Amino acid sequence: MNFDLPADTEAMCAALTAFARRDLGGTGTFVPEDFRRRWQLAGKQGILGATVPEEHGGSGLGAVSAVALMEALGIGTADTGFGFSVAAHLFACLMPIVEFGTPDQKLLWLPRLSSGELIAAHAITETEAGSDIFAMRTIAELRGDSYVLNGSKAFITNAPIADVFIVQAVTEPGGGFFGLTSFIIEAGTPGLHAGPAYDKVGLRGSPTGELHLDDVHVPPEHVLGGRGAGAAVFSGSMKWERTCLFGVYLGAMRRVLDSTIEFAGERVQFGAPIGEFQAVSHRIVDMMLGMESARLLLFKAAAELARGGNNEVWSALAKIAVSEAAVQLGLDAIGVRGGLGITDGAAETLLRDALPSRIFSGTNEIQKNNIARTLGFGRRPARRR
């Protein structure tokens, strides 16, 4: 096993970190004009289409390089919310079009989505259908020569500012896995309305909101993957998102760990830097242990995805490991700083940004259920002793 990234990937990541520090900082809150300005800069830098094939305007990177790139982005920008929006756009929206889109759909959407001209959002979640996607109530009925969609979506990343939506809807009630269909819908389509950005505990730089559909007409050529392929499209997007998106959190953890080490070396109490006290130094070692362990799992998941294997278990394990490590590292970074940790700064920001990571892309509890199924639990009735 070679744990070193190729030299060209290392150079690409170093350049991205420097670029993000210089141009993608932001204020940590969502300001529409500034968000789109930084978005277009990210597009010119090639971030938004990193894993999109070159013939469609992307860079053609594999999953391992994509995780490394997202890690570099997380190190470079303190606005983890912006990095989260970038990753959700790329992995939950562009990659489904890459894998399920028709040639015409790829030609129409991918170059502009990769360049930063357009912003995408994948509308899956509803208030009554989060982890249970088959409980969704948004309906798509074929009427004449178009589908008509009605329903509402919630907690949709990039919804308040998106130009293009991938919307999941029920086309066969009670049809289970084959009862859902994905649609590509442009903002401004009559009957399609995005709500304002939520006021969230974390990831405040990422605009998240609701999407309402009231008799939205969509032509058949905007069906993604064919009728009944919605669950497959969703699974494909999660395959990429649960693996590569969490690279942003690796970078954020690295950035905060480095600043915590620096703080512990400079902060003097009782005549010595606090890093000299075992209680502090051991806590910092635990921070490093959690981060590096999670990093290994995430790159393992990326390697499985890159070779075309079934990475469901590895992506689930990595998602749990990264999210839990990020929350704990945020708590420990605050603990090392003491009172300064609960004022505005890197430590408390990381903790707020890390809390949602336990929930999105499938809650950690759902990930454990998925892993348990692969171990044979929940499939067979219990045998009588």
Distance separating alpha carbons of residues 276 and 274, to the nearest angstrom: 5
- CB contact at 8 A, 69 and 61: yes
pLDDT, residue 177, reads 86
Q: What is the CATH number of domain 246-374?
A: 1.20.140.10
Report residue 295: phi and psi, to 5°: -65, -45
Q: Show the low-confidence residues of the chain (pLDDT under 70).
A: 379-385
Distance separating alpha carbons of residues 8 and 154, to the nearest angstrom: 40
Instruction: Say which residues have a Cβ less than 8 Å from residue 173's Cβ, sequence separation at least 6.
Output: 139, 179
Distance separating alpha carbons of residues 29 and 188, to the nearest angstrom: 25
Distance separating alpha carbons of residues 239 and 53, to the nearest angstrom: 18
Distance separating alpha carbons of residues 218 and 226, to the nearest angstrom: 13
Question: Could you give the dihedral angle defined by the CA atoms of residues 294, 295, 299 and 304, in that order, rounded to the nearest 10 degrees?
Answer: 0
Closest to 322 in 3D by CA, of 260, 251, 259, 239 = 251
* Residue written as token pair 């391992």: 64
Beta-bridge partners for 272: 269
Angle between helix axes 312-337 and 364-374 (nearest 10 degrees) is 140
Give Cα separations from 28 to 128, 157, 193, 202, 205 (angstroms). Answer: 30, 16, 25, 9, 5
pLDDT, residue 15, reads 97
pTM for the predicted model, two decimal places: 0.94
Distance separating alpha carbons of residues 26 and 36, to the nearest angstrom: 11
Domain boundaries, the chain: 7-119, 121-233, 246-374
Please identify every residue annotated as catalytic: 241
What are the pLDDT digits (tens) for 93-123?
A: 999 999 999 999 999 999 999 999 999 999 9
pLDDT, residue 241, reads 93
CATH architecture for residues 121-233: Beta Barrel (2.40)
Instruction: Say which residues have a Cβ less than 8 Å from residue 355's Cβ, sequence separation at least 6.
Output: 201, 202, 327
pLDDT, residue 285, reads 98
Q: Does domain 7-119 have CATH number 1.10.540.10?
A: yes
pLDDT, residue 378, reads 72
